[in-house]
Amino acid sequence: GTAYPMKVAQALLDASLNEPMKALKMINVFSRSTLAAPPSALGPGTWVYGASMALGRRVLASNAEVNVFHRGFKACDSYVNGETAITQITCSVLFVLGAQDQMTQAKAAKPLMDKAGASGKTVRVARVPVGHHQMTEAPEETLFAMRDFLNTP
Protein backbone atom coordinates (compact mmCIF):
# COMPACT_ATOMS: atom_id res chain seq x y z
CA GLY A 1 0.00 0.00 0.00
CA THR A 2 1.01 3.61 -0.44
CA ALA A 3 -0.76 4.97 2.61
CA TYR A 4 -0.23 4.49 6.31
CA PRO A 5 -2.36 4.03 8.19
CA MET A 6 -4.38 1.98 5.69
CA LYS A 7 -7.75 2.61 7.27
CA VAL A 8 -10.69 0.97 5.52
CA ALA A 9 -14.13 2.59 5.73
CA GLN A 10 -16.38 0.84 8.25
CA ALA A 11 -19.11 0.52 5.61
CA LEU A 12 -16.71 -1.45 3.40
CA LEU A 13 -15.51 -3.62 6.29
CA ASP A 14 -19.12 -4.42 7.21
CA ALA A 15 -20.15 -5.10 3.63
CA SER A 16 -17.13 -7.32 2.96
CA LEU A 17 -18.09 -9.41 5.99
CA ASN A 18 -21.87 -9.51 5.65
CA GLU A 19 -22.58 -8.71 1.99
CA PRO A 20 -19.43 -9.53 0.00
CA MET A 21 -21.01 -8.94 -3.42
CA LYS A 22 -22.13 -5.47 -2.30
CA ALA A 23 -18.57 -4.75 -1.14
CA LEU A 24 -17.19 -6.02 -4.42
CA LYS A 25 -19.45 -3.63 -6.32
CA MET A 26 -18.46 -0.77 -4.00
CA ILE A 27 -14.75 -1.20 -4.61
CA ASN A 28 -15.22 -1.63 -8.33
CA VAL A 29 -17.03 1.70 -8.53
CA PHE A 30 -14.77 3.70 -6.19
CA SER A 31 -11.47 2.21 -7.35
CA ARG A 32 -11.90 3.12 -11.03
CA SER A 33 -11.35 6.38 -12.83
CA THR A 34 -14.04 5.29 -15.30
CA LEU A 35 -16.40 2.35 -15.61
CA ALA A 36 -16.09 2.35 -19.40
CA ALA A 37 -12.66 2.97 -20.86
CA PRO A 38 -12.56 4.65 -24.29
CA PRO A 39 -12.65 2.23 -27.24
CA SER A 40 -9.42 0.30 -27.59
CA ALA A 41 -7.84 2.15 -24.65
CA LEU A 42 -6.87 -1.21 -23.16
CA GLY A 43 -7.52 -3.30 -26.24
CA PRO A 44 -10.73 -4.03 -28.14
CA GLY A 45 -13.49 -5.37 -25.93
CA THR A 46 -11.77 -4.69 -22.61
CA TRP A 47 -14.21 -4.06 -19.78
CA VAL A 48 -12.19 -3.38 -16.63
CA TYR A 49 -15.24 -3.26 -14.36
CA GLY A 50 -16.60 -6.61 -15.58
CA ALA A 51 -13.18 -8.25 -15.50
CA SER A 52 -12.57 -7.06 -11.96
CA MET A 53 -16.01 -8.21 -10.82
CA ALA A 54 -15.28 -11.66 -12.28
CA LEU A 55 -11.91 -11.77 -10.53
CA GLY A 56 -13.52 -10.68 -7.25
CA ARG A 57 -16.14 -13.42 -7.51
CA ARG A 58 -13.37 -15.92 -8.13
CA VAL A 59 -11.45 -14.71 -5.07
CA LEU A 60 -14.60 -14.94 -2.94
CA ALA A 61 -15.19 -18.51 -4.11
CA SER A 62 -11.55 -19.54 -3.67
CA ASN A 63 -11.85 -20.38 0.01
CA ALA A 64 -15.10 -21.75 1.40
CA GLU A 65 -13.82 -21.60 4.99
CA VAL A 66 -12.42 -18.06 5.11
CA ASN A 67 -13.79 -14.86 3.63
CA VAL A 68 -10.44 -13.80 2.15
CA PHE A 69 -11.98 -10.57 0.87
CA HIS A 70 -12.90 -9.41 4.39
CA ARG A 71 -9.67 -10.79 5.82
CA GLY A 72 -7.65 -8.67 3.40
CA PHE A 73 -9.52 -5.48 4.24
CA LYS A 74 -9.24 -6.23 7.96
CA ALA A 75 -5.49 -6.78 7.59
CA CYS A 76 -5.11 -3.41 5.87
CA ASP A 77 -7.26 -1.67 8.47
CA SER A 78 -5.35 -3.24 11.39
CA TYR A 79 -1.81 -2.85 10.04
CA VAL A 80 0.39 -0.88 12.43
CA ASN A 81 3.94 -1.28 11.11
CA GLY A 82 4.02 1.10 8.12
CA GLU A 83 6.34 3.77 9.47
CA THR A 84 8.85 1.24 10.76
CA ALA A 85 8.72 -0.89 7.62
CA ILE A 86 9.40 2.02 5.27
CA THR A 87 12.58 2.91 7.18
CA GLN A 88 13.89 -0.67 6.89
CA ILE A 89 13.84 -0.71 3.10
CA THR A 90 17.39 -0.67 1.78
CA CYS A 91 16.82 0.66 -1.74
CA SER A 92 15.16 3.53 -3.57
CA VAL A 93 11.37 3.66 -3.37
CA LEU A 94 8.84 4.27 -6.15
CA PHE A 95 5.31 5.41 -5.37
CA VAL A 96 2.95 4.89 -8.33
CA LEU A 97 -0.12 6.97 -7.52
CA GLY A 98 -3.45 7.15 -9.28
CA ALA A 99 -4.34 10.80 -9.80
CA GLN A 100 -8.06 9.94 -9.67
CA ASP A 101 -7.84 7.32 -6.91
CA GLN A 102 -10.85 7.60 -4.61
CA MET A 103 -9.84 4.69 -2.35
CA THR A 104 -6.32 5.85 -1.51
CA GLN A 105 -5.93 9.46 -2.53
CA ALA A 106 -2.46 10.44 -3.68
CA LYS A 107 -2.04 12.83 -0.74
CA ALA A 108 -2.37 9.86 1.64
CA ALA A 109 1.06 8.64 0.48
CA LYS A 110 2.84 11.80 1.67
CA PRO A 111 3.57 10.62 5.24
CA LEU A 112 5.27 7.45 3.98
CA MET A 113 7.13 9.37 1.27
CA ASP A 114 8.34 11.86 3.89
CA LYS A 115 9.36 9.06 6.28
CA ALA A 116 11.24 7.25 3.50
CA GLY A 117 13.04 10.44 2.51
CA ALA A 118 13.89 11.29 6.12
CA SER A 119 15.45 7.84 6.55
CA GLY A 120 17.77 8.42 3.60
CA LYS A 121 15.88 6.69 0.81
CA THR A 122 15.69 8.10 -2.68
CA VAL A 123 11.97 8.56 -3.28
CA ARG A 124 10.45 8.79 -6.73
CA VAL A 125 6.81 9.46 -7.50
CA ALA A 126 4.93 8.57 -10.67
CA ARG A 127 1.38 9.81 -11.11
CA VAL A 128 -0.82 8.00 -13.58
CA PRO A 129 -4.14 9.50 -14.75
CA VAL A 130 -6.34 6.74 -13.33
CA GLY A 131 -7.86 5.38 -10.14
CA HIS A 132 -6.77 2.67 -7.69
CA HIS A 133 -6.19 -0.05 -10.30
CA GLN A 134 -3.19 1.40 -12.09
CA MET A 135 -2.10 -1.89 -13.65
CA THR A 136 -5.45 -2.57 -15.30
CA GLU A 137 -6.48 1.00 -16.11
CA ALA A 138 -3.08 2.24 -17.28
CA PRO A 139 -0.87 -0.80 -17.85
CA GLU A 140 1.59 0.93 -20.17
CA GLU A 141 1.97 4.06 -18.04
CA THR A 142 2.50 1.87 -14.96
CA LEU A 143 5.03 -0.30 -16.80
CA PHE A 144 6.91 2.76 -18.06
CA ALA A 145 6.97 4.27 -14.57
CA MET A 146 8.52 1.09 -13.18
CA ARG A 147 10.92 0.73 -16.12
CA ASP A 148 12.09 4.33 -15.82
CA PHE A 149 12.52 3.92 -12.06
CA LEU A 150 14.58 0.74 -12.49
CA ASN A 151 16.75 2.40 -15.16
CA THR A 152 17.55 5.38 -12.92
CA PRO A 153 21.03 5.14 -11.38
- The residue type of 148 is D
Among 60, 58, 78, smallest CA distance to 69 is for: 60
Identify whether 1 is part of a domain. Answer: no
* Cα 70 to Cα 22: distance, rounded to the nearest angstrom: 12
Quote the number of domains for the chain: 1
Report yes or no on 2 lying in a domain: no
Residue 3 lies in a domain: no
Query: What is the dihedral sign for C-alpha 37, 124, 91, 149?
Result: positive
CATH number at residue 56: 3.40.50.1820
**Is pTM beyond 0.75 here?**
yes
4 falls within a domain: no
Does residue 142 form part of some domain?
A: yes
- Residue 122 has a CB neighbour count (10 Å cut-off) of 12
Q: Quick check: is 47 in a domain?
A: yes
Q: What is the pLDDT of residue 23?
A: 95
- Residue 108: domain span: 10-150
**What type of residue is 68?**
V
73 domain residue, yes or no:
yes
Side chain identity at residue 13, one-letter code: L
Q: What is the pLDDT of residues 63-122, one digit of tens each?
A: 989 999 899 999 999 999 999 999 999 999 999 999 998 888 889 999 999 999 999 999
Flag whether 31 is in a domain: yes
